[in-house]
Structure 1
Amino acid sequence: MEIMLKKVLCTMLATCGSNIFGFLAPLVIPPLHIAFIYYFWQDFARDVDKQYCSCSCWDTVFKGSYESGVASYKHMYFNATSNTLKIWVTIVLGVIVFYETVKHLAWLGFQKHLRWRMFILFMTAVFSHYYSWWVYINYWNDDFYSQWYHQFFFSATELISTILVVHLADDRNPITRRKAFGIVSIALLHILAGGWDQFVTNVVRGEGYAHQVVRDLGFMIPDVLHVIIPLCSLETKGAYSLPGAGLRDPDLKTDLILFRPMLMLYFIKVVSFTSIHESKTAITTVK
């Protein structure tokens, strides 16, 4: 009876604890983000005269008969448009997925099944996912789409990588070479594409602003860890389980074949970025 009671109490503690962690994660990060932005961009902030300011870009639909036309100060405005619906769906999905993921990882921790190396990888990837989530909200909010596919490449591949990481966070799931290879290959693509894109210019050459340097380091350091940690965590059963350990490895050829689509995505990404950069340069030259 005592053992059963302990099991029930432990289960209740794990359930409540995981729910609390899942609740706190999406609750805390956005305010931290705003505080972070304010730290870097406080010089661009201006005082708002709440008594005399107005907004003529608001359709005032959700206010109905209470307010119409040019509106007075509000802490939040939103128009009744299709983009507002997309933004709302993105916000809800992001919060739910983040809540459920953190709750799942916390549950694994309470049950002592959490693989801490994979948990570290997940924590380092939070910034990338939050950045993508925030960027898409701003794309729809600003009707700015020139970087949509450029960002989608990173968002989609990062999502695939994190799904593998969360799966491997359960120590009952073995870290096979194929799973580790998937995480590592995506990280390498991000390192190559990110280095080609912004990292070299902003960080290595020192041409970026402080917030750009912090942002690019926030992308690059997790990608490097996504290469190192899976390789160090790889579970092997013999010498021939290692990639390239011998020609008798029957799965190596299959893994390389599976890697081809990732290479194609990278080259498509590089070509598209180069063409966009050249077109921008041409436009600037004409101007």
Structure 2
Amino acid sequence: MDMILAADENIFSSQIQSITIHLLSTIFSALIISVGLVVSTEISGYNLETMYYPVSKETCTCDCWDGYFRGRFPRGHYKIFYFNYEQSIIILLCILLFYGELLRKFLFKIIFNREFILLLLIPSVYSNFYGVWSIINYINDQDYDRMLKSQSYFSLTELIATFIFYQCLTMKSKIPSWLIYFLCTISCLHIFLAFGELNLDQMGRNFALVLSDIISLIWIIIMFIKNPRLKPNLRTTSIWLFVALCLWLFYHFVCQFREKNKNDL
């Protein structure tokens, strides 16, 4: 009987510990996302109209909100958070939950599992969340044709590069060479495209977005120095240059940023 009680106590204690860790990691994730949004907005800058004409909480009537999720209750006035009864909200919620859970697990591994090598991925956290927040804004603004494809391209390739770099950092066995080449290809492509669309007015933002790619390339160079056998031969280099060319062509012909036409304004 005592053994059963002791086992139950251990299970209960383990469950409490698991819930506490989950709660703390969720709080840390929310704090990092919140701080990141403020910092990234400070870097990018604010719209003058937003600065000079702030929302009036007393007179705001939320006319652009359909209020369906309020059920029988009226829409009321100013709300901290609201969303409309549309299919796009499902996509937005999926994006938020997916990236939020990734960040929570990332923090869990660093803080509780003490995998400090993953600190190299911190710049990737910024670039990933900057990209996904841009996608959320484009979907929220219904700006599907102008920049959504371009940002989706960068966000998807950034997520793939982050996953590959994570695998390389945590892999205990021999790292497959193709992972390193693929990571190098995406990182170089990001930097190349970033310089092609260089905005001198936002150098801080531009540097922050490619910092993860620079760190990846530095790590790859160190790996090549330590393991000369990993260096690609001419045939392998040609193959990955062809892959990079295909990715570049796909971006320019399918996903490139498109300015608004006068008819769209």
> Which category describes the TM-score, using the shorter chain as reference length?
0.7 to 0.9
Task: Return closer, same or farther for 1:82/1:275 CA change in 2, 3 Å cut-off.
Answer: closer
SS of structure 2 residue aligned to 1:41: coil
- Asked if structure 2 preserves the Cα contact closer than 8 Å seen for 1:193 and 1:269, the reply is no
- Asked if structure 2 preserves the Cα contact closer than 8 Å seen for 1:17 and 1:106, the reply is no
Partner of 2:66 in structure 1? 59
Q: Write the deviation string for residues 158-209 of structure 1: whole angstroms up to 9, x where unpaired.
A: 1111111111222514344322222111100001111112x2xx23xxxx2x
Task: Return closer, same or farther for 1:16/1:229 CA change in 2, 3 Å cut-off.
Answer: farther
Partner of 2:100 in structure 1? 95
Q: Write the deviation string for residues 199-249 of structure 1: whole angstroms up to 9, x where unpaired.
A: 2xx23xxxx2xxx32211111232222211122034856x544334xxxxx
- Asked if structure 2 preserves the Cα contact closer than 8 Å seen for 1:18 and 1:104, the reply is no
1:181, 1:173 → 2: CA distance? 17
Amino acid at match of 1:50: K
Partner of 1:267 in structure 2? 249
- Asked if structure 2 preserves the Cα contact closer than 8 Å seen for 1:115 and 1:170, the reply is no
- Please state how far the C-alpha of 1:54 moved relative to its aligned partner: 1.3
Structure 2 alignment gaps of length 5 or more: 1-9
SS of structure 1 residue aligned to 2:46: helix
Partner of 1:253 in structure 2? 235
Partner of 2:133 in structure 1? 134
1:213 aligns with 2:203: yes
Query: What aligned pairs does 1:163-242 form with structure 2 within 5 A after superposition?
Result: 163-170=163-170, 172-197=172-197, 199=198, 202-203=199-200, 208=201, 212-234=202-224, 239-242=228-231
Structure 1 alignment gaps of length 5 or more: 1-7, 245-251
Amino acid at match of 1:196: G
2:57, 2:153 → 1: CA distance? 41
Partner of 1:5 in structure 2? none
Partner of 1:29 in structure 2? 32
2:236, 2:20 → 1: CA distance? 42
Equivalences, count: 244
Task: Return closer, same or farther for 1:260/1:81 CA change in 2, 3 Å cut-off.
Answer: same
- Please state how far the C-alpha of 1:266 moved relative to its aligned partner: 0.9
- Asked if structure 2 preserves the Cα contact closer than 8 Å seen for 1:188 and 1:223, the reply is yes
Partner of 1:157 in structure 2? 157
- Asked if structure 1 preserves the Cα contact closer than 8 Å seen for 2:67 and 2:74, the reply is yes
- Please state how far the C-alpha of 1:264 moved relative to its aligned partner: 0.8
Amino acid at match of 2:174: P
- Asked if structure 2 preserves the Cα contact closer than 8 Å seen for 1:25 and 1:98, the reply is no
- Asked if structure 2 preserves the Cα contact closer than 8 Å seen for 1:26 and 1:99, the reply is yes
2:184, 2:24 → 1: CA distance? 28
- Please state how far the C-alpha of 1:104 moved relative to its aligned partner: 3.2
Task: Return closer, same or farther for 1:33/1:253 CA change in 2, 3 Å cut-off.
Answer: same
1:150, 1:42 → 2: CA distance? 22
1:137, 1:274 → 2: CA distance? 18
1:241, 1:30 → 2: CA distance? 37
- Asked if structure 1 preserves the Cα contact closer than 8 Å seen for 2:128 and 2:155, the reply is yes
- Asked if structure 1 preserves the Cα contact closer than 8 Å seen for 2:36 and 2:126, the reply is no
Task: Return closer, same or farther for 1:53/1:22 CA change in 2, 3 Å cut-off.
Answer: closer
1:107, 1:231 → 2: CA distance? 30
- Asked if structure 2 preserves the Cα contact closer than 8 Å seen for 1:115 and 1:168, the reply is no
Amino acid at match of 1:23: T
- Asked if structure 2 preserves the Cα contact closer than 8 Å seen for 1:15 and 1:107, the reply is no
